[in-house]
Structure 1
């Protein structure tokens, strides 16, 4: 099957996967942001009360004590319940992180499969596509899919290792974590696949 025909067949699936990737990621980010804001507000309140406690001449009206108890019963109480809620959600956080990585891996699989169907496993005649951090697009898709699939058993071929080591050097050290977790989401972020159109645009670059 040629890439143009393949892209027609997977169009709906790709749209669904990309939407789910970013829906899951957005939910995770929002939960963390809410907890971080409450934690920061609590820390600020305690810092102010501690400052006044160490400088009693500035606390003639008992403001430091007031701040402390307001923080404890106000923001800190909210933080307590939010943290309890977060701890309950935290078990789902790991699942969401796995979900994001798995969905991202699926998107890379769609890309790799298109290349494989059109050019075979040796990618004979496959165009480079655009160059990302000194690496051809088709190489990143191929090796990133392999990384997402095999990171748990650590059985990487040399091209996969070289690809991620180069990304770690040229882009972000986070890509050096390729032996300990899936980096599929980081890869689609690097490629700018924030919507299905971006994915299809890149895949069309691989049509000879």
Structure 2
């Protein structure tokens, strides 16, 4: 069997694993979105609620009832505002705790996706390929991001990243204005940079890269 065919078979065989990993990552993304309610959105809700009461409910025959509801809603919005003003990391940590997960565990899942990606490339090209025509992630070839992203996933806790890994992460930070934290697992950010948001994104890229 030719190397290309082996790689294609590996990618298809990996489909269930990739789908499973993204199933868990989808839960993370939902939590992340809910944890990022902005103060501006809450202030906008307060303003709209205030206008609604001023121009409609205060003239109602049931004005006292509407006022009580209005005050209860404003109090709830104040609580939401206080929560929204917490540190993002603290909000996310609390939200993830509610689904029995952590940023670290989700980063581990992202690292597993990168591992499958590197393995597919390695099988398809018998090592790290040179594909100048492949799509770019900022100023970098996707091969570099996937390959060194997987290396980061395997060795991030060793303290001093290897030169190629460090260069890849620094380029992502500069090109895409994303936060890279030294000494931490940045695989979620790498997955985001690759725009691998669902299984088909991964499978489509990998199949194209082993042709």
Per the TM superposition, whether the score is higher than 0.5 is yes
1:92-145 alpha-carbon deviations (Å, 9 max, x no partner): 53643223322211111110121223334x42x453421221211111101112
The alignment's C-alpha RMSD in Å is: 3.9
**For residue 159 of structure 1, what is the aligned residue in structure 2?**
164
User: Cα offset for 1:78?
Assistant: 6.9
**For residue 102 of structure 2, what is the aligned residue in structure 1?**
96
Distance 1:88 1:201 in 2: 34
**For residue 146 of structure 1, what is the aligned residue in structure 2?**
151
User: Cα offset for 1:146?
Assistant: 1.7
Structure 2 counterpart of 1:21, from 4, 20, 25 = 25
Distance 1:187 1:89 in 2: 19
Distance 1:43 1:152 in 2: 45
**For residue 9 of structure 1, what is the aligned residue in structure 2?**
13
Question: How many aligned residue pairs are there?
Answer: 183
User: Cα offset for 1:26?
Assistant: 1.0
TM-score normalised to structure 2 length: 0.67
Work out whether residues 35 and 95 of structure 2, in 8 Å CA contact, stay in contact via their aligned partners in 1.
no
Distance 1:88 1:162 in 2: 31
1:50-108 alpha-carbon deviations (Å, 9 max, x no partner): xxxxxxxxxxxxxxxxx9xx75x654367559979x98984453643223322211111
User: Cα offset for 1:160?
Assistant: 0.8
The answer on 1:109 being equivalent to 2:112 is no
Distance 1:202 1:38 in 2: 36
**For residue 206 of structure 1, what is the aligned residue in structure 2?**
209
Unaligned runs of 5+ in 2: 48-66
Distance 1:7 1:81 in 2: 44
User: Cα offset for 1:42?
Assistant: 10
Unaligned runs of 5+ in 1: 45-66
Change in Cα spacing, 1:153 to 1:43, as seen in structure 2 (3 Å) is farther
Change in Cα spacing, 1:42 to 1:102, as seen in structure 2 (3 Å) is same
**For residue 197 of structure 2, what is the aligned residue in structure 1?**
194
